[in-house]
Amino acid sequence: MARVILKKGQEQRLLKGHPWVYRNEIADIAGSFAPGDVVEVEDCRGKFIGRGYINPISMITVRLLTRDRLEEVNEAFWRKRLYDAWNYRQQILAGADTDSFRVVFGEADFLPGLIVDKFASYLVVQTLALGIDRYQELLVALLDELIEPRGIYEQNSVLVRELEGLDLRAGFLKGPFDPLVIIHENGLKFFIDIAQGQKTGYFLDQRENKAAIRPLVKNARVLDCFCYTGGFSVHAAKYGAAQVLGFDISEEAVEMARRNAALNGYQDICSFEAVNVFDALRELERRGEKYDVVILDPPAFVKSRKALEGAIRGYKEINLRAMKIIKPGGFLVTCSCSYHMLEELFMEVVESAGLDARRRLRLIARRGQAPDHPWLCGYDESHYLKCLFLQVL
């Protein structure tokens, strides 16, 4: 087995729990290997740190699988990792009113590059790193054995795979089946399109945040920005909102949101428009419209540190526009799904928007991703979703 030898001092981040070895941290590689092979990682003194798969064309050259020198990476290893991930969800979601959740969250489940989502009786699988992609056939067989889904779909048409030198592909791994699936979440039903939807089809990480809006929205006029397929909107209607308007730039998402409102009997409360949210908020302000609750759940404005400055401007503007149309004493639910927008920085951006909008803010809650998307300590990239509940005075 080849050995990856780190430069002096580069082991510290790994010893604190981070699972990635970057290209510029490597002093030498001893022995031969093929891309995707499992290799050993050691510090400059030859001390064993861990074992993981290697991809020399990726900036993330090694992704650690184990820190136990005696643990072999074989079929029993993969079976145990998947069982542990599944067992954790069965425990942490016991009693949860849902049939859909994330089964495997990559590095946070010690399975780097692997995403598995369960939607009702179906699984969606993503293999986002070369090393895990080589084991896809085995992993799918083990998932089928463990969970016994009706069908499995591969959603690997994501651009991040190109950074690993992988092709883009999607299709049925067990099936075929109708990719338009109905899931249950918090007492509601939602259509999701496994094949054509964003990411794996639905944003499961917001499940608990959607339930948490309940005390804010009774009899309220609610604006749901970047509504996608209506998750927050339909929850608001269920919890007693008088009127809900959802904005999203995608015509397909808006049409699905309308279907989801009707599926739950809230078509008379919820309406949706396919618009540019920034432009629509300016128009609402110009017309003097006011809302009791505004929800902001935008896509990631920042996907790298280089883009952070522009993202800060985007987050500030969208929050500023929202605050200007919230009634005094109303509420803002604002989210960021980018790791690079750290929680304290996000709070600073929102506070700055409040100052410019001449509105006082009262923080009600800091929330994050649902527990089926756990935050692995030492690996801050797994803490990506920030959700602030604020009163706007």
Structure tokens at 35: 């891309």
Q: Are 250 and 343 in contact (CB under 8 A)?
A: no
Taking the C-alpha atoms of residue 240 and residue 238, their distance in angstroms, rounded to an integer, is 6
Q: Does the active-site annotation cover 270?
A: no
Q: At what angle do helices 308-324 and 343-357 cross, to 10 degrees?
A: 40
Taking the C-alpha atoms of residue 75 and residue 142, their distance in angstroms, rounded to an integer, is 9
Q: Which residues contact 37 (CB under 8 A, 6 or more apart)?
A: 1, 2, 53, 54, 131
In Å, what is the CA distance from 272 to each residue of 28, 249, 268, 278, 286?
56, 10, 11, 15, 20
Q: Are 373 and 380 in contact (CB under 8 A)?
A: no
To the nearest 10°, report the CA torsion of 159, 343, 281, 269: 90
Residue with tokens 């750290």: 342
Taking the C-alpha atoms of residue 128 and residue 130, their distance in angstroms, rounded to an integer, is 7
Structure tokens at 119: 């939607």
What is residue 3's three-state secondary structure?
strand
Query: Which residues pair with residue 200 across a beta bridge?
Result: none
Taking the C-alpha atoms of residue 300 and residue 30, their distance in angstroms, rounded to an integer, is 39
SS3 content of the chain, % helix, strand, coil (to 5): 35, 30, 35
Single-letter amino acid, residue 212: A
Count of C-beta atoms within a 10 Å radius of residue 235: 29
Structure tokens at 148: 């016994």
First-residue to last-residue Cα distance in the chain: 62
Catalytic entry in 270, 337, 377, 387: 337
Residue with tokens 């089946």: 177
Q: Which residues are catalytic?
A: 337
